[in-house]
Structure 1
Amino acid sequence: MMTFVNNDFGDVLLHRSSVRDFDPSVTIPREELTAMIQETITAPSACNLQAWHFEVVDNAAGKDLLRQYFMKFNLPQLESASAVVQIFGDTQAFKSYRDLWNKAAADGRITPEKRDEVLRTFLPLYEKAPQSMLVADSSVDSAIAATQLMLVARAHGYETNPIGGYDTTKAAKLFGLDPTRYVPVMAIAIGKPAKNGKDEMKSARYPVDQVLHFAD
């Protein structure tokens, strides 16, 4: 179990800000990056499908791939970050769904009867689903994971920048992935801020009463 550098949930959640200028001298060990993804995938997902995939870039060769499809205004984050995690939605995650629940039953975490109920209820929905639904569900799952990753990174003592400015038609192919299966959702740059790396302009937020309505 990881001992977080920052275990103050209020600070982790409320004081997150986007960093565009990281300290390029900082390296994040791959063991820690793996732990961060392990903590990220405890995030919720539709029907527990976990329809996400992570490509972690932490070296020059990987950044060369990202440069081929990132928009220019996102290059400062790319160039200076310790790592960039490209998150894809996996539209065929349902093909592993039976194995997931069989293992849960074999480990005693769920009864065989409950496993069968879950598979009867949810698996046919995805096996018969149109591609548009598979893209939408995997994109939502991956967006939830992206948010969790940003908070996990803060708990580890790092800052992040969520990146959506890139050519979505190129991302999967450049990582050697099937573009009909893997849908690029978001990239997360991770690292330690440079001296003035934090966003100096605090982003304005809409008043809560503008975005909130209690349905009576």
Structure 2
Amino acid sequence: MATDLKVEQEFSKVIRERHSVRKYDPSWKISDEEIKELLGEAILAPSSSNLQPWRFIVINNQELKEKLLPVANNQQQVVDASAVIAVLGDTEAYRNAETIFDQALEAGFITPEVRDMMATNTYNAYSGMSPERLKDIALVDGGLISMQLMLAAKAKGYDTVPMGGYNAGAFRELFQIPQRYATVILIALGKAAVEGRPTVRLPLEDVTHWNGFQA
């Protein structure tokens, strides 16, 4: 019981101490291995039908960050942070259904019969959806993994800031991103030079409704 309480307290500390940081120590470099560890924890996030539509572009080359700077509205954290993680969402992630359920079969999580049923049903359901619906799903799943990545970073002593203020068209052109991938968000990752500013939240009773909604 004591161990469980400690874990709960540590998580509570992480979510309360995570703030958006916009000023980073440009001399601090996070290794590729550390970034892989963070992404490895992030991809444990849930996704629609476990299709895992997220894709990442890790941008830690300084020259490339300089090219990204004007695309990201000249936000200084782009060049000062150790890396910028671009989160994308694959709107055709259902094409990976067989691969994903094959892995579940190999892991012993499902039977061959369940594998066949789930792979077929998932592909048929998603392939019949409109492009708009598929993009919505990719964006929701991309949001889930983005938050998980930021919490994982804070738990390891690093800081982040999510950036929606960038030119998505110019970003696509810079990285030659195919249209099937939705641009979700950019996340600066590094070591804070100045702590993030504390913010306030609306009272819980103003944003929570029980068993119905009242505007």
TM-score, with structure 2 as normaliser: 0.90
CA distance in 2, matches of 1:53, 1:155: 22
Q: Give the structure with the higher percent helix.
A: 2
Q: How does 1:1-216 map to 2 (within 5 A)?
A: 8-72=10-74, 75-178=75-178, 180-194=179-193, 197-200=194-197, 202-215=198-211
Q: Kindly, what percent of the aligned residue pairs are identical?
A: 36
Unmatched 5+ stretches in structure 2: 1-6
Residues 150-169 of structure 1 deviation map (CA, whole Å, 9 limit, x = unaligned): 00101111011110000112
Aligned residue pairs: how many?
204
CA distance in 2, matches of 1:92, 1:62: 28
Q: CA deviation at 1:68?
A: 4.0
Report if aligned partners of 1:172, 1:182 keep a CA contact under 8 Å in 2. no
Residues 85-143 of structure 1 deviation map (CA, whole Å, 9 limit, x = unaligned): 01011112111111111122133222112212322332211111111011110011001
SS of residue paired to 1:170: helix
CA distance in 1, matches of 2:88, 2:71: 15
Q: CA deviation at 1:183?
A: 1.0
CA distance in 2, matches of 1:199, 1:42: 26
**What is residue 4 of structure 1 aligned with on the other side?**
none
User: What root-mean-square deviation, in Å, do the aligned CA atoms of Structure 1 and Structure 2 show?
Assistant: 1.4
Report if aligned partners of 1:90, 1:181 keep a CA contact under 8 Å in 2. yes
User: Could you tell me which amino acid in structure 2 is paired with residue 184 of structure 1?
Assistant: T
Q: 1:103 to 1:175 in 2, by over 3 A?
A: same
Deviation >6 Å, runs of 4+: none
**What is residue 4 of structure 2 aligned with on the other side?**
none
TM-score, with structure 1 as normaliser: 0.89
Residues 19-69 of structure 1 deviation map (CA, whole Å, 9 limit, x = unaligned): 010111100010110111111000000111111110011121320342241
